[in-house]
Amino acid sequence: MIKRSFNDIATWVNGEAVGLDNAPVEVAGVSTDTRTIRDGNLYIPLVGENFNGHDFVKAAVENGASGALWQKKQPNPPADIPLIYVEDTLLALQDLAKNYLASLPAKVVGITGSNGKTTTKDMVTSVLATTYKVQKTEGNYNNHIGMPLTILRLEEDTEMAVLEMGMSGRGEIELLSMLAKPEAAIITNIGESHLQDLGSREGISEAKFEITAGLRENGTFVIHGDEPLLTDKVTDSPFHVITFGNSKTNDFYPVQIKQKSDGTYFTINGEDETEFFIPVLGKHNINNALAAVAIAKQFGVSTPNIKKGLEMIKITGMRTELIQGKDGVAVINDAYNASPTSMRAAIELLQDLKDYKKKIVVLGDMLELGENEETFHYEVGKGIDFAKINYVFTFGKLGNKIAEGAKVNFSENQVFAYDDKQALIVKLKETVGEGDIVLVKGSRGMKLEEVVTALT
């Protein structure tokens, strides 16, 4: 984590340090939340529509903070606390992270995309960690506040930083890329997330492409080569473009694939004698692994170490997470988020699994899809293979549209639509038994992990 003097920090954020007579020699880490303050932290009070962190500066110091930033236009600054006056505390947080990162030897890999960002981040981290000291974005710290906080937690001797870059609209990824200045960048894919705000997949592609804004000269740009919305934009790219995907026109593609209950086995072109294994389900996750392989190769990681790193992946929770539940029922917890692309991939995964008695899907609303949201949900339901799935449960207003689509191919007594989550759980428990497997997936706001908890 950052360890710098108040004066150094003041210089980096273009601020004015005051009240330093009793200040410690250096700041040790930062926090924007008084509940997570550690001794020596610099408290950064952010201002939002419904909160003002300046109201809690004294509490932060009482909890161990060594001092705080203070926005100049905020009234009544405390006189007895080391402060650094700045124009805007959020911009100061970002400037502090940018300058701290620039002072480190760490090389940065930036990752964005509609689906698979977090899983790809975990995979890239795992393969690079076989050769380098690596730190990554933790949890969902991937926005204009979270990513600077991630950077400020990097140790001085970190060699590689793997940073996830999320967004809700245009300009956000550009900001993050300019802040991080990555040596390499990945776009995992272009899906339908944020259609409500960006209008089209083309608009989503343009927003994701902002990751190149800060990509260093001659940097490595890894993209999903089966996506024309990406490949069409790199025909005259100034970067070193590497493609991955299922097509043999890509630089990295799978040759043989075996899906088993413990994970996914595959070989790739150019490495025919090496069988790779990822302890995560789903053929779609092979693409995430290929992106990690591409990055690892660029940074000189050997094939044996890549193989080892993929085998040791620790995937962030609620992402195709296979859990052994109660009474012999297996659960695939994929409840963190959902879009049409990721939901179809998860359903395909369940359809391909063998050695289970009954296969059941529990699907919730996919949010932020814009004016065509009902059609997206209906088509997902219609696409479920009645020969490979036994029951379809849905939750939510839009989930009802999934149920309507499913009824095109399924009988009435195989499809159950609910607006009451507890009622769904009761019926689901009556339906499942030993040897069955249940896929649970929906957007974050649907909180379908509550269904997972009920089964486990």
Annotated binding site for ATP: 113-119
b/e code 3-27 from CB counts within 10 Å (16+ = b): ebebebbbebbebebbbeeebeebb
**Could you tell me the strand order of the sheet in which 134-136 lies?**
134-136, 160-164, 107-112, 184-187, 220-224, 240-244
Q: Which two tokens stand for residue 48?
A: 């939002």
Neighbour count for residue 286 (Cβ, 10 Å): 24
Between vectors from CA 447 to CA 382 and to CA 400, what angle results, nearest 5°? Answer: 30
- Specify whether the CB–CB gap between 89 and 46 falls below 8 A: yes
- Specify whether the CB–CB gap between 439 and 448 falls below 8 A: no
- Specify whether the CB–CB gap between 200 and 374 falls below 8 A: no
- The widest CA-to-CA distance across the chain, in whole angstroms, is 77
Q: Are strands 134-136 and 160-164 parallel, antiparallel or unpaired?
A: parallel
Torsion angles phi and psi, residue 108, rounded to 5: -110, 135
Could you give the count of Cα atoms lying within 13 Å of 382 in the half-sphere of its Cβ?
Answer: 9
Neighbour count for residue 91 (Cβ, 10 Å): 14
140 exposure class (CB count in 10 Å sphere: 0-12, 13-18, 19+): middle
Binding residue numbers:
113-119
